[in-house]
Structure 1
């Protein structure tokens, strides 16, 4: 399973979200068809553009559980002071992707920042 974790400023457009996802995938030589779902944090559950992007891509959008985000926050590669203050994690996009990808998940790299949106790609771990 491959998850795109999304973080953003308030009021972003669906085009901003889609462009960030595309940029993150391109960084890793992947295409949209590689994705299983989009993920974000509870702080972003009312951000309409994230859900609109999922709808356009025909992908489920999972709002990661706060406890799951906290559990994986130490595994993030990027560290934003603002994200830590507002969301309780150093990277909303990275922690959300890891939390939804599940146990043993790993990031393909640090988040991609494109304007007001960040996107990180995580892949599920293998085995129990």
Structure 2
């Protein structure tokens, strides 16, 4: 199972989120068609751009509780001081990807960022 974990600034557009996703799959040498789910933190789940990006790909949106994101925080690659100060996590996108990918999850690389969105890819055995 491959999951695209997403983080974003408030009101980031679906287009900007999809740009981050395309950059992430390009960097990992995979395709958007290989994404089985999109995941984000529970405090980002209401963002219209995140929901729209998942709908555009035709995949489910997995909402990850903060406690689960905290649990995998030590396995993230990226350590963003800005994100840590704002939400208390080193990387929302990487943590969400790891949580949603399930058992044996591993990141395919560090998160990719645009001006308003981040995307990280993880593969795992699913929930």
> Normalising by structure 2, what TM-score?
0.94
SS at match of 1:43: coil
Which residue is 1:68 aligned to? 68
Which residue is 2:115 aligned to? 115
Q: Which runs of 4+ in 1 moved over 4 A?
A: none
> Normalising by structure 1, what TM-score?
0.93
Question: Which runs of 5 or more residues in structure 1 are unaligned?
Answer: none
Aligned-CA RMSD value: 1.3
Question: Which runs of 5 or more residues in structure 2 are unaligned?
Answer: none
- How many aligned positions are there? 126
Q: Is the 8 A contact 1:14 1:50 kept in 2?
A: yes
Q: Distance in 2 between matches of 1:87 and 1:44?
A: 11
SS at match of 2:11: coil
SS at match of 1:99: helix
Which residue is 1:17 aligned to? 17
SS at match of 2:77: coil
Which residue is 2:93 aligned to? 93
Which residue is 2:48 aligned to? 48
Which residue is 1:37 aligned to? 37
